[in-house]
């Protein structure tokens, strides 16, 4: 599979994974190609993806958005350490499902354990990235970053 087709596949599979894992209505904006540093305002979780497409997958949003998703999935509000733990598990579910979807397309990848980042952070190693914003109604939204590592 050509490199461009592989990137289309990972972007499409990431969006499909988010739709299939999250039990909420989701509106996905058009992907943006960025070459600027990744800036996190409040909360984010990232996993590394190795194999055919070395990438970092980052979910970034407000704590209130993660809390809303946790409440929808588990029926109770999450705060503090429980919220941070949930955000890591959410990334694991999305990343694991992404890995399965890519495998079905003949793209082999492995994922690293999730790392949760709370507070403002900047990642300067971002030479090429794809960003998609997922909106969950109202002001709840999450940015999904695929940062190319080559």
Quick one: 120 exposed, middle or buried, by C-beta within 10 A (0-12, 13-18, 19+)? exposed
Q: Is the distance from CB of 56 to CB of 49 less than 8 angstroms?
A: yes
CA 23 – CA 34 distance, rounded (Å): 29
Consecutive H or E run containing 40: strand 38-40
Which neighbouring-strand residues pair with 78? none
Q: pLDDT at position 124, please? A: 64
Domain 3-148 CATH assignment equals 3.40.1550.10: yes
Per-residue pLDDT of the chain (150 residues; tens, 9 = 90+): 555 577 888 899 999 999 999 989 999 999 988 777 766 778 899 899 999 989 889 999 999 999 999 999 989 889 999 999 999 999 999 999 999 999 999 999 999 999 888 877 776 666 678 889 999 987 899 999 888 876
- Domain borders along the chain are 3-148
């Amino acid at each position: 599979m050509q490199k461009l087709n592989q990137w289309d596949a990972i972007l499409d599979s990431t969006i499909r994974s988010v739709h299939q894992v999250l039990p909420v209505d989701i509106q996905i904006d058009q992907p943006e190609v960025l070459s600027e540093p990744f800036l996190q305002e409040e909360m984010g979780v990232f996993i590394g993806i190795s194999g055919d497409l070395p990438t970092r997958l980052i979910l970034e949003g407000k704590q209130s958005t993660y809390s809303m998703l946790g409440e929808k999935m588990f029926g109770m509000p999450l705060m503090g350490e429980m919220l941070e733990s949930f955000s890591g598990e959410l990334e694991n579910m999305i990343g694991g499902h992404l890995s399965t979807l890519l495998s079905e397309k003949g793209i082999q990848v492995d994922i690293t354990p999730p790392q949760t980042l709370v507070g403002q952070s900047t990642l300067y190693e971002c030479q090429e990235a794809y960003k998609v914003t997922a909106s969950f109604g109202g002001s709840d939204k999450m940015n999904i970053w695929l940062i190319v590592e080559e």
